[in-house]
């Protein structure tokens, strides 16, 4: 039997070669995310918006509460101008719209992120517990979510704000009360498939307590789903807050949010002060676009099958 | 089927009860009484007021009386602010308007959305497809309170084509802007959902079989592809209906159409709890009933659902 020398040599080389560096799930996801142009655009937009919210006040020539009596109530002189320092113009009361937009963006982002964080914490724990224990516990917990989801929450939220005072804190509580419902459903569904995996069975077989299994084996595997959904939840929370503020029932003066600014701008646009609508609207739209694009990009990156 | 419907009803009724009781409790534990704004009223007058509105009864009795009046007589009681009007009067005045443009918007959103989605899926990668996808991405960031001012700016203030507010049952020109403003974002979502599910169905085996048999294209699409493709759309209709009802508040406030949403916001600002509760319960009931109908239709269309 003649052995092909060259084949043996290549085999020897192949077996002695160092291991190929493996790519983790996260490295793969990162690569896919950075190849997605829409997601990169979204990331760029978000960076811009966050930078605007954080550092805008250093550029602003005016404070958000100071009134410029030279331009107050005059549509002809209160437009955007670099000469008097009102880069975005001034609002009806003569306040600098640039500083107001920075303030509004800050509040809108804050509401969105806090609402989403509450959803992550409450929704994940609720969904994981419900899905893991199953049976009657699951039936009861999910029926409760069904009932709460069927209530037109916007009306209850407004009821809550009217009765207990319209403050930012109350707004956070109200938004947080509703944001976790969908999250808990999604997490529960994911937990149902995870809990029958072999490693969970193994953990159960060696007597690991249920809550430890949830913490150590279920929750880490939920990160992908939770991150994607939390990102997509932020724009929804911003929309909710803007909706309420547009009606004049949300954030109160001297605080403001993008929704309140859009409402003001929409109210005065017939006087020819279009910039009062345009600038807040621009930041509102690019913020939403940014979060949607990044969220979609993350979903595609973490779950290539779902394309 | 009957068991399935009864099961759905068994969730709907507790939901409704929970809504009524929760909003009554919220109102009851609110700080201050509904009459606290009337300065310096003598205690005996306050006692008379409380007796007139039944607020001197124990809590459980108040709730059961209220429930009984609502369920048996469809009576939401007197308004706390307008002495000569009952909640029923206020609802009867605004509800027909909301119902008119609301149902028009809903029909528009479904018809246009489904048509757009189906055409985009059939003519994949054509300019029509790109247009449909572009519109549906754009409309995601244009909720009703952003659409409304933009529409008024273009069609009323610039082009002078359509009235920017008011309402008339006999003149459809007043209907156009509210319907467009309310329906656009839902139309876009429906188009997106229809497109992706239609694409999935068109790639499935039974469509290939139909093509192999030589069925005409139109028959394939309308007879075999449309029904399964519409299932995800139907399950979206429930949430869409809820947020359209919520969105009608914006329309009523911005276009001064005189619908029920305006009464809701006014009562929220006046702390007229009776009207707030009446509107919340009415719209909540509508929502829950609609969800029930969607569930039943879904169970009827989808052969995979076991009941």
10-residue mean pLDDT profile of chain B (307 residues): values are: 79 79 76 62 76 75 80 77 80 87 92 91 85 82 84 84 80 87 89 89 89 88 86 84 84 85 82 81 82 81 64
Give, in order, the Cα–Cα distances in Å from A237 to each of A61, A205, B135, B246, B265.
31, 42, 22, 15, 20
pLDDT of A306: 47
Cβ separation A159–B26 shorter than 8 A: yes
Structure tokens, A55:
């550092």
Peptide bond into A254 cis (omega under 30): yes
Cβ separation A288–B140 shorter than 8 A: yes
Residues of chain B with Cβ-Cβ distance to A288 below 8 Å are 140-141
pLDDT of A34: 86
- CB atoms closer than 10 angstroms to residue A41: 15
- Whole-angstrom Cα distance, residue B264 to residue A248? 13
pLDDT of B288: 80
The kind and range of the H/E element at A54 are helix A37-59
pLDDT of B65: 81
Residues of chain A with Cβ-Cβ distance to B291 below 8 Å are 150
- Whole-angstrom Cα distance, residue B275 to residue B92? 12
pLDDT of B35: 66
Query: Residue B16: closest CA among chain A residues belongs to which residue?
Result: A151
Cβ separation A159–B287 shorter than 8 A: no
Residue A137, domain member (yes or no): yes
Nearest to B78 by CA among B264, B278, B262: B278
Which residues in B have their CB inside 8 Å of a CB on A? 11-12, 14-15, 18-19, 22-23, 26-27, 30-31, 140-143, 145-146, 148-149, 152-153, 157, 242, 245-246, 249-250, 253-254, 264-265, 268-269, 271, 276-277, 279-280, 283-284, 287-288, 291
Residue A19, domain member (yes or no): no
Residue A248, domain member (yes or no): yes
Residue A96, domain member (yes or no): yes
Residue A41, domain member (yes or no): no
> Per DSSP, what are the bridge partners of residue B78?
B86
- Whole-angstrom Cα distance, residue A112 to residue A236? 8
Cβ separation B268–A159 shorter than 8 A: yes
Q: How many residues does chain A have?
A: 307
- Whole-angstrom Cα distance, residue B56 to residue B64? 14
CB proximity list for B198: less than 8 A, separation 6 or greater:
B117, B118, B121, B122, B225, B226, B229
Share of chain B residues as helix, strand and coil, in percent rounded to the nearest 5: 75, 0, 25
Is-contact A295 A233, C-beta < 8 A?
no
- Whole-angstrom Cα distance, residue A127 to residue A142? 9
Assign B78 to helix, strand or coil. Answer: strand
Cβ separation B253–A247 shorter than 8 A: yes
Q: Could you tell me the CATH number of the domain that includes residue A145?
A: 1.10.3720.10
Structural domain that includes position A297: 89-306
Structural domain count, chain A: 1
Give, in order, the Cα–Cα distances in Å from B114 to each of A35, B78, B105.
32, 43, 14
In this prediction the pTM is 0.81
> Per DSSP, what are the bridge partners of residue A67?
A95
Which of A146, A159, A244 should we substitute to test contact with B (largest number of B Cβ atoms within 10 Å)? Answer: A159
Cβ separation A151–B19 shorter than 8 A: yes
Is-contact B225 B150, C-beta < 8 A?
no
Cβ separation A155–B280 shorter than 8 A: yes
- Whole-angstrom Cα distance, residue A71 to residue A89? 9
- Whole-angstrom Cα distance, residue A231 to residue A238? 12
- Whole-angstrom Cα distance, residue A276 to residue A89? 7
Query: Residue B23: closest CA among chain A residues belongs to which residue?
Result: A156
Please name the residue that has the structure tokens 């300065």: B39
Return the half-sphere exposure (C-beta side, CA atoms, 13 A cut-off) of residue A227.
16
Is-contact A253 A261, C-beta < 8 A?
no
When computed from its CA atoms, the radius of gyration of chain B, rounded to whole angstroms, is: 24
pLDDT of A14: 65
DSSP string, A262-294: HHHHHHHGGGT-THHHHHHHHHHHHHHHHHHHH
- For chain B, how far is it from start to end, CA to CA, in angstroms? 6
Structure tokens, B142:
């244009």
Which of A112, A139, A160, A163 should we substitute to test contact with B (largest number of B Cβ atoms within 10 Å)? Answer: A163
Nearest to A107 by CA among A169, A45, A180: A169
CB proximity list for A30: less than 8 A, separation 6 or greater:
A301
CA distance A247 to chain B (A): 7
Per-residue pLDDT of chain A (307 residues; tens, 9 = 90+): 456 666 666 766 666 666 666 677 778 888 888 888 888 999 999 999 999 999 888 887 777 777 777 777 776 677 777 777 788 877 877 788 888 899 999 999 998 998 899 889 999 999 999 988 888 888 888 888 877 777 777 777 887 787 777 777 788 888 888 888 888 988 898 888 888 888 999 999 999 998 899 888 888 888 888 888 888 889 888 888 888 888 888 887 788 888 888 888 888 877 777 888 888 999 999 999 899 889 888 888 887 554 4
Residue A6, domain member (yes or no): no
Residue A7, domain member (yes or no): no
Burial A283-295 (b: 16+ CB within 10 A, else e): bbbbbbbbbbbbb
pLDDT of B239: 78
Residue A60, domain member (yes or no): no
Q: Biggest alpha carbon distance in chain A?
A: 102
pLDDT of B33: 61
Assign A67 to helix, strand or coil. Answer: strand
Give, in order, the Cα–Cα distances in Å from A167 to each of A107, A158, A173.
12, 12, 10
Please name the residue that has the structure tokens 């990668």: B125
Over residues A277-293, the pLDDT tens digits come to 888 999 999 999 899 88
- Whole-angstrom Cα distance, residue B300 to residue A188? 27
- Whole-angstrom Cα distance, residue B110 to residue B190? 7
B124: left (phi over 0), alpha (psi -120 to 50) or beta: beta
Instruction: Count contacts between A and B (CB, < 8 Å).
Output: 109
- Whole-angstrom Cα distance, residue A107 to residue A99? 13
CB proximity list for A298: less than 8 A, separation 6 or greater:
A29, A33, A39, A227, A228, A231
CA dihedral A25, A29, A31, A35 (to 10 degrees): 160
Cβ separation B149–A247 shorter than 8 A: no
């Amino acid at each position: 039997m003649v052995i092909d020398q060259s084949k043996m040599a290549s085999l020897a080389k192949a077996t002695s070669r160092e291991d190929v560096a493996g790519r983790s799930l996260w490295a793969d996801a990162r690569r896919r995310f950075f190849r997605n142009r829409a997601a990169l655009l979204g990331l760029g937009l978000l960076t811009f918006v966050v930078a605007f919210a954080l550092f805008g006040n250093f550029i602003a020539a005016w404070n958000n509460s100071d009134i410029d009596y030279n331009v107050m109530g005059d549509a002809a002189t209160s437009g955007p101008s670099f000469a008097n320092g009102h880069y975005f113009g001034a609002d009806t009361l003569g306040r600098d719209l640039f500083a107001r937009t920075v303030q509004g963006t800050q509040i809108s982002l804050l509401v969105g992120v806090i609402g989403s964080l509450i959803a992550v914490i409450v929704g994940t724990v609720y969904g994981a517990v419900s899905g893991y224990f199953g049976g009657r516990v699951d039936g009861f917990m999910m029926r409760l979510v069904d009932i709460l989801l069927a209530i037109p929450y916007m009306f209850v939220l407004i009821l809550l704000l009217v009765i207990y005072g319209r403050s930012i804190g109350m707004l956070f509580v109200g938004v947080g009360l509703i944001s976790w419902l969908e999250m808990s459903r999604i997490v529960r569904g994911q937990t149902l498939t995870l809990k029958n995996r072999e490693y969970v069975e193994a953990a159960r077989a060696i007597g690991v307590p249920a809550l430890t299994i949830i913490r150590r084996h279920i929750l880490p595997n939920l990160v992908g789903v939770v991150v994607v959904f939390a990102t997509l939840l932020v724009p929804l929370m911003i929309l909710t807050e803007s909706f309420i503020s547009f009606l004049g029932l949300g954030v109160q003066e001297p605080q403001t949010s993008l929704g309140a600014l859009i409402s003001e701008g929409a109210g005065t646009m017939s006087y020819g002060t279009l910039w009062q609508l345009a600038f807040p609207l621009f930041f509102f739209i690019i913020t939403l676009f940014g979060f949607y694009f990044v969220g979609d990009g993350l979903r595609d990156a973490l779950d290539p099958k779902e394309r | 089927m009957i068991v399935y419907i009864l099961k759905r009803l068994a969730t709907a009724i507790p939901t409704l009860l929970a809504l009524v009781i929760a909003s009554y409790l919220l109102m009851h534990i609110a700080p201050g009484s509904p009459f606290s704004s009337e300065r310096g009223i003598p205690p005996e007058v306050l006692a008379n007021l409380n007796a007139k509105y039944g607020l001197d009864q124990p809590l459980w009795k108040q709730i059961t009386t209220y429930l009984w009046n609502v369920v048996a007589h469809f009576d939401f009681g007197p308004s706390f602010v307008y002495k000569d009007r009952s909640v029923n009067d206020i609802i009867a005045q605004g509800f027909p308007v909301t119902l008119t443009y609301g149902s028009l918007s809903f029909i528009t959103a479904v018809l246009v959305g489904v048509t757009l989605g189906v055409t985009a899926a059939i003519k994949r990668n054509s300019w029509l497809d790109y247009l449909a996808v572009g519109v549906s991405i754009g409309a995601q960031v244009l909720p009703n309170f952003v659409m409304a001012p933009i529409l008024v700016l273009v069609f009323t203030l610039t082009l002078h084509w359509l009235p920017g507010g008011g309402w008339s049952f006999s003149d459809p020109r007043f209907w156009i802007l509210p319907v467009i403003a309310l329906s656009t974002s839902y139309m876009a979502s429906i188009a997106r959902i229809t497109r992706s599910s239609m694409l999935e169905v068109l790639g499935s085996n039974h469509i290939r079989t139909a093509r192999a048999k030589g069925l005409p294209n139109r028959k394939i699409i309308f007879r075999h592809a449309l029904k399964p493709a519409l299932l995800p759309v139907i399950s979206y209709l429930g949430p869409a209906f809820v947020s359209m009802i919520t969105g009608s508040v914006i329309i009523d406030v911005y276009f001064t159409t005189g619908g029920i949403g305006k009464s809701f916001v006014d009562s929220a600002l006046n702390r007229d709890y009776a009207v707030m509760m009446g509107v919340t319960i009415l719209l909540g009931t509508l929502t829950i009933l609609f969800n029930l109908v969607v569930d039943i239709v879904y169970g009827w269309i989808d052969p995979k659902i076991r009941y």
